Amino acid sequence: MEHLTAQAINMKIIISFLLLFFVMMSKLYSQSKSYDRITPMHLDLQKYADTTFILRISAIGTPGGSNYYILSKSGLLTNLYYYGNLTKGITMPKEIKGRLQYLSILKDTAKTAINAYFMPLYINSKDGALFWSEIVKIKPWQIDDIDVGKCEKMNKIYDGVAVTFFTITKNEIKSILFFNPKILEETCKGNKNRMDILAIVALFRNYFHFP
C-alpha cells in the first residue's frame, strides 16, 4: 500500500512538472513571436530617461532567446544596459554555464522589466558620447521597415534572426522590424533601410561585444 502511495505521489510530481514545462514553453513561444512588442522595460525607460535606443536580436522560430542591447541618455549622462541570455557567446566552465542558463530560463518566464535581470554596463563618458553621436548620425528615427524583406533572388526564410530597433522618447515609442537583414542585403544589395539597420547593429556590436 505504501509502495502504491509513493508511486502515485511521484506520478503527480511528474505530471505537475510536465504541465509547468508546457505552460512555460507556450508562454515563451508567444513572446518570441511578438518581436516588436512594448514591455514594462520600454515604458520604464520612457519614464526615467530622455531618449533611449534599444536593439533587440531574436532567434526566429526559437522560444525566448531575445537579447536587448540598450543605449540610453538622460541629460549629459549616457548609459548602457543589457537584458538577455547570460551565457551567449561566452566560453566558461560547464557547471557555471549550466547555472546561468537556468537563470536565463527563469528570466524568459518573467516580465521584461527593470528587474534583477536588467544589467547596467560600464562605459566611460567619452566613449558614451561617441557611441551616441554615431547612432544619431544614422538618424534611426527615419529608418523605414516597409519592403525591407523583398528579395526576388531568395526564397522565404523560416529561421534566422529578427532585428528590432526601438527609438524611445518622452512622446512615443517607435519600432522597426527586420528579418535576416544581413542575408537579404548580401543577396539583394542596395536597400538603404537595411544598410542603415546593419550599420546600427555593427555599432552596437562594437560597444556591447556580442557575437
Would strands 67-74 and 173-179 be described as parallel, antiparallel, or unpaired?
unpaired
Q: Say if residues 127 and 207 touch (Cβ distance below 8 Å).
A: yes
Lowest mean pLDDT among 103-107, 121-125, 174-178, 186-190: 103-107
Question: pLDDT confidence of 102, banded at 50, 70, 90?
Answer: confident
Lowest mean pLDDT among 6-20, 135-149, 152-166: 6-20
Write down the domain spans for the chain.
Answer: 34-208
Query: How many CB atoms are closer than 10 A to CB 188?
Result: 16
Share of the chain above pLDDT 70, in %: 75
Q: What is the pTM of this model?
A: 0.80
Give the architecture (CATH level 2) of 34-208. Answer: 2-Layer Sandwich (3.30)
Q: What is the arithmetic mean of pLDDT over 109-119?
A: 87
What local confidence, expressed as pLDDT, does residue 156 receive?
A: 62
Share of the chain above pLDDT 90, in %: 49
Q: Which H or E run contains 163?
A: strand 160-168
What local confidence, expressed as pLDDT, does residue 5 receive?
A: 56
